[in-house]
Structure 1
Amino acid sequence: MTIRAVVTGVGHYLPDRVVPNAEFEATLDTSDEWIRERTGIERRHFAAPGQTTSDMATRAARAALAMAGREPSKVDAIVLATSTPDLTFPSAATMVQRALGMTGGFAFDLQAVCAGFVYALTTANALIVAGQARRVLVIGAETFSKILDWTDRTTCVLFGDGAGAVLLEWQESDGTAARGVLATDLHSDGTFKDLLYVDGGISTGTQGVLRMEGKEVFRHAVGKLAQTAESALERAGLTGEDVDWIVPHQANLRIIKATAQKMGVPMDRVVVTVQDHGNTSAASIPLALSVGVERGQIKRGDLVVMEAIGGGLAWGSVVVRW
């Protein structure tokens, strides 16, 4: 028998405030048409004053637990992917642990920017397969609205806030059409640090704001996303023809379309939410997963490929049988 980490619950949370593209027209040299044409984004959600990453992560976690029919006391670990934690320390994951009323287990944050969720899912899968945990909450949550330069029309219109979560559980499998995580593939290359970063932190004594070389990030994204997805599928003994759904990082509709085309997967097998959420960084894939399930797109037994790229550069993919 083989041990698999199986998704048993998924959930998401979005802040109440919805910001349409037109709202930026009053302060920036931009328009709804300009943003839609270049990104596919129509609106995004921004956190309320005082609303934190851990607040949103907790709400998404509760939704995932409710779907799975599990109490927080049954969870062994929380892995929270975020680049916008509430504080420098302690981790936002421990704040979620407290909010859920978990008195046991362990919790930690993981930072790989927009690739954070695939890194976190890979880590959680390894914990389960190694026997370190039987149930792990994997969360992606961000409040990117707090690190944006509101005078830079090339970046501030791209991002939004939100959270998504999945519950991974230990299950035995006989290997026949096995559910759960089938393969993962992770990469990073620090030589590309200056393409996407925040210009503040401990070393500067400032919070800083997001900086991005958009054209260069786009150029790297398409090739690297297709490559990592194909590598993970190969490890699972599968090809693009076997894929039921691609759930990509929701950064830019043009990147999503170009990656799907490169993989030979039609767009009617791609879950797209970027128009409604913008780029929510580590939250974008679990948000899209939850919405895909909610829409009735992703069903039990479907083969799902998740892929993402973010600052670092860091990129990777996960193949899951739902």
Structure 2
Amino acid sequence: MGIRAVGAYLPEKAVSNADLEEILLTRDDWIRENIGVETRRVAADDEWTSDLGARALQDACARAGITPADVDLVICGTYTPDNMAPPTAMLIIDKAGATGATGFDVNSGACPGGVFALDVGAKYVASGAFRRVAVVMADVSTKTLDWKDTGPAVIFGDGAACCLLEPCAPGTGLGPTLLRSDPKRYRAVWVAREERRARDGRPQRSAFGDNFAQLSGPAVREFAVGEVPGLIRELLADGGLTASNVDLFALHQANLYIVHGIMEALGVPLDRTVTNVRKYGNTSGASVPLVLREALDAGGLRPGDLVVLAAFGSGVSMGAVLVRWCGEDDFGAEDRRAGAVRAR
């Protein structure tokens, strides 16, 4: 199975570091030098995960030359569902017009979802149960923020992306995947359920009530730079490959310098990755497919390229998948063969 198209959607509202200086005890130069973020997108008050996800799904379908009604299964990878139940995928199906599709959510801990949810979708295509699967990664992370808590507030942004999966020619598409979790570091980055109060004593709420994102920057960096390169090397070694064989590394955009640290640990030049954390911030599970989308738009990803997708974050969890990028001719081979047989 391969990625037929990558859709994307970013909210219109952009919040710069200078804007954050007005509400947080922080500085633009400190954020740039330590996080690498310059601006981020923030969902409107009435804009939720399903709204972002539906737009990303529609965009992916438009790029593939199909309609949302042609999609068989919608998997929404999110940690910010519109409601606790039913799954947000149901609203995405309705809002995008994916009439007749089945849908469910996957919560693999926000940022790791860029690989974890993709792996779930790939297995459904491989099983033959569904032919066309839309894996929609969408989060409104800024709605989990306490806007007086500098750590998370300078990092996160909102966004959505959709990988449209279909059967593809042998030797192309998604290959081996490695998934790992370490629950001992559960609180390195998480959404804590706790009561908070403002300085005047009044209860303080996020858009999700008493749920607030929090993290330990040093712990996340230590985990990501210390362990993600080893996971990628293991993935490549299983196929008799090394980092030098890879054309593009699509890495989770946790922090610009974490991405640089992973590339340095792999001994690979920075021109073999794409970063968007400067303009979008950390967009959680959407960040890896958004990197793919940017690489495609810039002409930096071509059929036959070998690509490593790696996502990591809360759990703490990490995942990596090896992809031989498909061209348009790699899709629909089964249909063409069936048509040839019928023609005889």
Same fold (TM over 0.5): yes
Rounded Cα–Cα distance in structure 2 between residues aligned with 1:155 and 1:49: 19
Contact 2:151 2:214 in 1 (8 A): no
Give the aligned partner of residue 44 of structure 2: 48
- Match for residue 87 of structure 2? 91
Shift, 1:241, TM fit: 1.1
Rounded Cα–Cα distance in structure 1 between residues aligned with 2:70 and 2:237: 34
The 1-side partners of 2:166 and 2:231 are apart by 25
Q: What TM-score, normalized by structure 2, do the two folds share?
A: 0.87
The equivalent of 1:258 in structure 2 is 261
Q: Answer yes or no: is 1:249 the counterpart of 2:252.
A: yes
Deviation for aligned residue 1:217:
1.3
CA contact (8 A) 1:182 1:236 kept: no
Q: 1:187 aligns with which of 158, 180, 187?
A: 180
- Residue 28 of structure 1 aligns with an amino acid whose one-letter code is L
In the other structure, the counterpart of 1:276 is: 279
1:292 to 288, 291, 295: 295
Tell me the equivalent position of 2:319: 316
Please, which of 148, 151, 154 is the counterpart of residue 151 of structure 2? Answer: 154
**Does residue 76 of structure 2 align to residue 80 of structure 1?**
yes
Over alpha carbons, which structure has the higher Rg? 2
Match of 1:134?
131
**Alpha-carbon distance in structure 2 between the residues aligned to 1:234 and 1:117:** 22
Deviation at 1:74, TM superposition (A): 2.2
Shift of 1:234: 2.5
Q: CA deviation at 1:125?
A: 1.2
Deviation at 1:171, TM superposition (A): 2.2
Give the conservation status (yes or no) of the 8 Å contact 2:68–2:99.
no
C-alpha deviations, 1:215-247, integer Å up to 9, x for none? 111101112211222222223332211110101
Question: What runs of 5+ residues in structure 1 fail to find an aligned partner?
Answer: none
Tell me, yes or no, if structure 1 residue 115 matches structure 2 residue 118: no
8 Å Cα contact 1:80-1:93 kept in structure 2: yes
Deviation at 1:276, TM superposition (A): 0.7
Task: Report the residue type matching 1:41 in the other structure.
Answer: V
- CA distance, structure 1, for counterparts of residue 324 and residue 211 of structure 2: 40
Q: Flag the 1:236–1:124 CA change in 2: closer, same or farther, 3 A.
A: farther
Report if aligned partners of 1:11, 1:165 keep a CA contact under 8 Å in 2: yes
| Match status 1:104 vs 2:107 | no
Whether 2:221 is the aligned partner of 1:221: answer no
Give the aligned CA root-mean-square deviation in angstroms. 1.4
Q: Distance in 1 between matches of 2:279 and 2:209?
A: 31
Q: Distance in 2 between matches of 1:237 and 1:221?
A: 24
Report whether the alignment pairs 1:197 with 2:200: no
Alpha-carbon distance between aligned partners in 2 of 1:233 and 1:96, rounded to the nearest angstrom? 35
Letter in 2 for 1:52: W
Matches for 1:15-54 after TM superposition, within 5 Å: 15-54=11-50
Q: Percent identity?
A: 39
User: TM-score w.r.t. structure 1 length?
Assistant: 0.93
Cα displacement string for residues 226-280 of structure 1 (whole angstroms, at most 9, x for unaligned residues): 1222222223332211110101000101110110111121100011111011001
8 Å CA contact 1:117–1:139 kept in 2: the answer is no
1:237 counterpart SS class: coil
2:112 is paired with a residue whose SS is helix
Letter in 2 for 1:45: R
Cα distance, 1:206 vs structure 2: 4.3
Moved over 3 A (4+): none
Q: Secondary structure at the match of 1:87?
A: coil
Equivalenced residue count is: 311
